[in-house]
């Protein structure tokens, strides 16, 4: 098989895979997916920021307890 035939075969395989993107087990999800509205996006950003702040706060409290409370016992 020469280089041209091999490249045609590769191209055919790529095109076949591209045709089946929306038909697999994730096809329904991809069809239902849409871009969020501005309000939805802002809500997601707020919730994410709150979660990051909570995790950081818990980490800081644990750090503080580990550094400053052992001396009192």
pLDDT means per 10 residues, the chain with 73 residues, are 86 80 72 89 97 98 89 64
Q: How far, in Å, CA of 27 to CA of 47, rounded?
A: 28
- For tokens 């091999």, what's the residue? 6
Distances (CA, A) of 38 to 7, 17, 33, 35, 52: 45, 34, 16, 9, 21
What pLDDT score does 1 carry? 67
What pLDDT score does 68 carry? 86
Whether pTM exceeds 0.75: no
What pLDDT score does 72 carry? 66
């Amino acid at each position: 098989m020469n280089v041209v035939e091999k490249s045609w075969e590769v191209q055919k395989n790529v095109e076949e895979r591209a045709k089946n993107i929306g038909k697999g087990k994730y096809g329904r999800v991809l069809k239902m997916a849409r871009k969020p509205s501005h309000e939805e996006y802002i809500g997601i950003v707020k919730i994410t920021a709150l979660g990051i702040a909570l995790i950081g706060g818990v980490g800081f409290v644990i750090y503080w307890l580990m550094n400053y409370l052992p001396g009192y016992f």
